Amino acid sequence: MEVGFLGLGIMGKAMATNLLRHGYRVTVWNRTLAKCQELVALGATVGETPAAVVAKCRYTIAMLSDPGAALSVVFDKDGVLEQIGDGKGYIDMSTVDAATSSKIDEAVKQKGGAFVEAPVSGSKKPAEDGQLVILAAGDKTLYDEMVPAFDVLGKKSFFLGEIGNGAKMKLVVNMIMGSMMNSLSEGLSLADKSGLSPQTLLDVLDLGAIANPMFKLKGPAMLQGSYNPAFPLKHQQKDMRLALALGDENAVSMPVSAAANEAFKKARSLGLGDLDFSAVYEVVKDASGSGQA
Amino acid sequence: MEVGFLGLGIMGKAMATNLLRHGYRVTVWNRTLAKCQELVALGATVGETPAAVVAKCRYTIAMLSDPGAALSVVFDKDGVLEQIGDGKGYIDMSTVDAATSSKIDEAVKQKGGAFVEAPVSGSKKPAEDGQLVILAAGDKTLYDEMVPAFDVLGKKSFFLGEIGNGAKMKLVVNMIMGSMMNSLSEGLSLADKSGLSPQTLLDVLDLGAIANPMFKLKGPAMLQGSYNPAFPLKHQQKDMRLALALGDENAVSMPVSAAANEAFKKARSLGLGDLDFSAVYEVVKDASGSGQA
Amino acid sequence: MEVGFLGLGIMGKAMATNLLRHGYRVTVWNRTLAKCQELVALGATVGETPAAVVAKCRYTIAMLSDPGAALSVVFDKDGVLEQIGDGKGYIDMSTVDAATSSKIDEAVKQKGGAFVEAPVSGSKKPAEDGQLVILAAGDKTLYDEMVPAFDVLGKKSFFLGEIGNGAKMKLVVNMIMGSMMNSLSEGLSLADKSGLSPQTLLDVLDLGAIANPMFKLKGPAMLQGSYNPAFPLKHQQKDMRLALALGDENAVSMPVSAAANEAFKKARSLGLGDLDFSAVYEVVKDASGSGQA
Amino acid sequence: MEVGFLGLGIMGKAMATNLLRHGYRVTVWNRTLAKCQELVALGATVGETPAAVVAKCRYTIAMLSDPGAALSVVFDKDGVLEQIGDGKGYIDMSTVDAATSSKIDEAVKQKGGAFVEAPVSGSKKPAEDGQLVILAAGDKTLYDEMVPAFDVLGKKSFFLGEIGNGAKMKLVVNMIMGSMMNSLSEGLSLADKSGLSPQTLLDVLDLGAIANPMFKLKGPAMLQGSYNPAFPLKHQQKDMRLALALGDENAVSMPVSAAANEAFKKARSLGLGDLDFSAVYEVVKDASGSGQA
């Protein structure tokens, strides 16, 4: 099977590599073409432009850094739109908002092409190991045709229905994650101020019904005040804001998420926005009386 | 090794059974003595009163339903105090507040005995499987002597220092658990009202960084509106109230836990207190609209 | 002094009437011209179109129902833009969002005219009595020229600086009002469930440091479950959402307002959006155990 | 008329002074007797102990800092109980919880005395001006006898029925007040960060439907960061804690009050507990990004 692949950043490179390793013929493109050489060494062909890749391949996957990049690859000169059409499918696996996704969807469909949005949960390591979780939505036929490729890229893919649902599902997951990070921070802080060892709390949590990889991974780093940004706090807060806005549209009252969002806003206001989202622990701690706040 | 065991409720019966299976000689007592027969069939001896059990055994473990029961077994006529003394140890594994624990501790020590509070995390199934997590505090020497028995009853035991710390650690864990249950409920509700499948949300959560046994176990039941009480909501709310009170003593600001507590209070007010604590989903759902939204 | 007046709804009619009573020469326009007759009887002249009014008057005031009406009166055929220009001032006293205001401001300035946004706080009665509070922003020179007219229409006018600040000030005021309405509802509910008379609570509040016209006016009606919409709940919730969004832009953490907003969202979800915003009391009451929720 | 007065803190001193000014003969006692001198200068007599005051006076009023002080003045050596009895009345105007009040009530009645709890709403200034609001409950006959004195101390007194209701009403009022103070703080902070003048916000508020003496009195001081304790923040937070506990007993869900309480706890944790409760503005401001927090 032949696929095009647009965008060879950390994620894209790992994903395209997995496709090649599993016998796919892959035509790659990247804004800085030099980055394509590593994949050529693994058997990839290079396309000069997104349009050229789409012209050559029936299916083209994109993995780009942000909504801006996702839009320009489609709408700019030599972009996807110039060659997309009947019988061709475009799959954008970048993380973008529902609005961006819809814009691309409409444009591709107008040209007669098929579109699937398929944002992933999981970062570098899962991408390399083909262990991503894929949240797909849009053209069901195209999704079905892509399943073999998704099986190479991820441990599981979901078809969520209409365009926008992939983005929405990510927001809901991140909203829960954000509230849980606040719950952990409050618990660690309460333990600390109550004469219990926060590290022992982490050990106890890890043996019980609410043990989860995030507590296990982030907890010890939080106790050391180390917040290297795997997922920047300002992005977490943005996702919570969008999730609450989605709840507002649908009149869903979510007081716990709203309280967590205010704590993230406070962290932003204290200049912690570029640290990992677990840095919300700093404001919970301060709030509980180090007196440094 | 010979141990006494007071209280043969769901938890106590399972724990005493494990001790017998591992070759302990166990003398059991229960307020309704009939309940002792099942354990006699497994080789247990029966004590007529708590005092009789303590008289016979060097170590006596108690697993009782609430603070009231924990106090009366110690202080009432024919209670533990009548026979406790030098060289004897009393281990209360019931879930009680720090004040109750301290009262028992002082009385036992005054008689020359040693006391350990050892509340557990985990309910019926882990009790049967010897997979409890034991949160012990009090007399370190007695704790060390009990480690072999704790290894039979649980997968891990912690010694947390002074009396009261066992109870406090449980409150912190349950507070985090309660906030997480609200986060899940809000997420399921948001998914539902936003046109996403709540069941798919559970599937996605279970593959990601916040996957945890509680979501996996409770989630599907919540979607079916089934709330058989493994841990009654009114007890969860009581623990959140006590955790918030502990935070108040130590001036720990915990807005997310406070919001979660109010949701549990609302559930109580709607008559859901005797259902499982996951029934808070019912009020989150209601809050998000009988569909008129 | 001669002024034009566009929009003769409940508010506009009362305001134009006050201007006539104070000796202003007023040229009025209304989408349904019939409505102009009452004011003609008081000495007003009629303008056939917004453009005609602006052509005739140096200053034109608008009081329209919503952003849509505010925009069409300016941008549609025969609209304000066709005649506005050097030496002419346009004053929009409608309640609109900052974006609408900015759009009108830019268009008017491009034509060489001057613009002031001047939303008011206060409804029918204060409008009739010339007791409005006027929240003006935009062209300071025009504002200064309008002060005599503002003194006729209101008991006080404020100049708040750049365009948009009038709308922002209203959001902040309404946000505080919404939180206060929730505080009152929680207090009435707590009194009721605790065996105190909610009516006595209102009497006590009215004598103390937090006595305010809103509690005095709304409280007794709330106890009777009467919620005739002076200010619809869905509009209150919309203003709280916008105020929280403004806070988000500026990283202002506002946990109390966020909690209040969630309560209003819950009320919306229960179908109370078209009642007065004091109907949030219904959900607070339900939450506190009528069991009807 | 002769009355005893126990406790000469900020409130007690102002109240005793008013009684003297209105021709009451007042025998005062204070834990640190030195504090009595100012009142002696105004004509007061000093009692060496609470018991001595009660022995001398038919009616004894107490105004103490907290439940601990209220109890010790009654039950300790040389306390009220030693001299209270038939024909003597004891009126505790301190703000205490219902349990404390009941304990005192039972003890006083057992000795044959009469008891009224009469907590007040209003702080230093109203106390000085005799403008307190008095929330009385307990012995109706004693209440009726005290009305003339209550008329000196306050502008209005309410008889609320059984012992405990005075304390409960006070808690409800203070809970609403505490939420309102947070609402104002959030609004001032939002105005400030959004480019509006917080002082203008105060001016606008004072002209509208939520204008109230507290905003008018505290607002300007808050903007100057001046927090002379009329009502210490730690007492406000204690009252909110007790009000929330009352709500818990009765399963009243109060998310807005709970969020406000967490903000006051944070202020306490930052060492602001002894400042006026309006100092919660400091933590809201910090939370909203001065970057100094």
- Going by pLDDT thresholds of 50, 70 and 90, the confidence category of residue A289 is very low
Q: Which helix (H) or strand (E) holds D190?
A: helix D165-193
Does residue B253 sit at the D interface (CB-CB below 8 Å)?
yes
C293 reaches B (C-beta below 8 A) = yes
Q: pLDDT value at position B246?
A: 93
Contact call for A204 and B262, based on CB within 8 A: no
Q: What percent of chain C has pLDDT over 70?
A: 98
DSSP string, B99-155: HHHHHHHHHHHHTT-EEEE--EE--HHHHHTT-EEEEEEE-HHHHHHHHHHHHHHEE
Instruction: Collect the ranges in chain D with pLDDT lower than 50.
Output: 287-293
Assess whether pLDDT exceeds 70 at residue A290. Answer: no
CA D195 vs CA A269, B111, D203, D289: distances in Å: 16, 69, 16, 14
Give the pLDDT of residue D230.
Answer: 87
Q: Is the pLDDT of residue C36 over 70?
A: yes
- For residue B293, what pLDDT band results from cuts at 50, 70 and 90? very low
> Which residues in B lie closer than 8 A to residue D262 (C-beta atoms)?
253-255, 258
Confidence of residue C65 (pLDDT cuts 50, 70, 90): confident
Task: Give the count of alpha carbons within 13 A of B168, CB side only.
Answer: 30
Give the number of A-B residue pairs with CB atoms closer than 8 Å: 241
Touching B: which chains, 3+ CB pairs < 8 A?
A, C, D
Q: Whose CA is closest to D57, among D45, D71, D43? A: D45
Is C14 a residue whose pLDDT tops 60?
yes
Q: How confident is the model at residue A87 (pLDDT cuts 50, 70, 90)?
A: very high
Judging contacts by C-beta atoms under 8 Å, the chain C residues touching residue B290 are: 269-271
Q: Is C173 on the interface with B (CB under 8 A)?
A: no
Residue linked to tokens 């005021």? C173
Mean pLDDT of C53-74: 96
Distance CA B153, CA C250 (A): 54
What average pLDDT does the segment C246-253 reach?
93
**C169-202 confidence digits (pLDDT tens):** 999 999 999 999 999 999 999 999 999 999 999 9
How does residue C112 score in pLDDT terms, banded at 50, 70 and 90? very high
Sign of CA dihedral C187, D184, D120, D79: positive
How deeply is B249 buried, as exposed, middle or buried, from its count of CB atoms within 10 A (0-12, 13-18, 19+)? Answer: exposed
pLDDT in the model for residue D92: 97
**The pLDDT value given to residue C286:** 75
Strand extents, DSSP E, chain D: 2-6, 25-29, 45-46, 59-62, 89-92, 114-117, 120-121, 132-138, 154-159
Q: What percent of chain B has pLDDT over 90?
A: 91
Mutate to test the interface with C, among D102, D120, D183, D290 (most CBs of C within 10 A): D183
Q: Does B256 touch chain C (CB under 8 A)?
A: no
CATH architecture assignment, domain D2-162: 3-Layer(aba) Sandwich (3.40)
Looking at residues A128-148, what average pLDDT do you find?
Answer: 97
**Contact between B190 and A246 (Cβ < 8 Å):** yes
Residue C35 CB contacts under 8 Å (≥ 6 apart), including other chains:
C8, C13
Q: Which part of chain A is CATH 1.10.1040.10? A: 168-287
Predicted local distance difference test score (pLDDT) of residue D122: 83
Mean pLDDT of B165-175: 95
DSSP state of A291: S
ipTM rounded to 2 decimals:
0.91
Q: Which residue of chain A comes nearest to D268, CA vs CA?
A: A289
Nearest to B269 among C270, C271, C288 (CB): C288
Chain C segment 273-292 residues within 8 A of B by beta carbon are 283, 287-289, 291
Please tell me the distance in Å from C46's CA to the nearest CA on chain D. Answer: 34
Q: Which of residues 91-150 of D touch C (CB under 8 A)?
A: 121-123, 126, 133, 135
List the beta bridge partners of residue D276.
D232
Residue C283 confidence (pLDDT): 92
Query: Would you state the pLDDT for residue B152?
Result: 97
DSSP three-state, residue B61: strand
Residue in D245, D255, D269 nearest the CB of B262: D255
Cβ-Cβ contacts under 8 Å, C167 against chain D: none
User: Is D285 annotated as catalytic?
Assistant: no
Average pLDDT of B71-88?
97
Give every CB contact of residue D235 below 8 A, 6+ residues apart in sequence. Answer: D66, D95, D277
The arrangement of secondary structure in D168-287, i.e. its CATH architecture, is Orthogonal Bundle (1.10)
Catalytic hit among A13, A170, A218, A285: A170
**What is d(CA A125, CA A210) in angstroms, rounded to the nearest whole number?**
24
Return the pLDDT at A275: 96
Give residue-wise pLDDT tens across range A201-248: 999 999 999 999 999 999 999 999 999 988 899 999 999 999 999 999
- HEC string of C19-31 equals HHHCCCEEEEECC
Q: What is the DSSP string of B253-276?
A: --HHHHHHHHHHHHHHHTT-TTSB
B157-196: burial string, b at 16+ Cβ within 10 Å, e else: bbbbbebbbbbbbbbbbbbbbbbbbbbbbbbbbbbbbbeb
Ranges in chain B annotated CATH 3.40.50.720:
2-162
Out of B88, B170, B218, B285, the active site residue is B170
Task: Report which of C27, C3, C246, C11 is spatially closest to residue C120, judged by C-alpha positions.
Answer: C11
D254 touching C (Cβ < 8 Å): yes
Residue C52 scores a pLDDT above 50: yes
- The length of chain C is 293
Is it the case that residue B121 has pLDDT exceeding 90?
no
- Candidates A262, A270, A284, partner chain D, best to mutate (most D CBs within 10 A): A270
pLDDT tens digits along B178-193: 999 999 999 999 999 9
What was the pLDDT predicted at D40?
Answer: 96
Task: Compute the mean pLDDT over every residue in chain B, rounded to the nearest whole number.
Answer: 94
- Which of A241, A253, A262 lies at the smallest CB-CB distance from C269? A253
CA–CA distance, B81 with B107 (Å, rounded to integer): 7
Note whether A182 contacts C: Cβ–Cβ < 8 A.
Answer: no
Could you tell me if A180 lies within 8 Å of chain C, comparing CB atoms?
no
Q: Which of C241, C255, C262 sits opposite A254 (nearest CB)?
A: C262
Between A250 and C293, the more confident residue is: A250
Inter-residue contact A64 to A94 (CB < 8 Å): yes
**Residue A141 CB neighbour total at 10 angstroms:** 11
The phi, psi pair for C39, rounded to 5°, reads -80, -30
Average pLDDT over residues B90-100: 92
Picking from C156, C185, C190, C218 by the largest number of D CB atoms within 10 A of its own CB, the best residue to mutate is C190
pLDDT average, residue stretch C209-236: 95
A230 vs B: CB within 8 A: no
Our measurement of the distance from residue B83's CA atom to the centroid of its chain's CA atoms, rounded to an integer in Å, reads 27
Q: Which of D166, D177, D182 is nearest to D260 (CA)?
A: D182
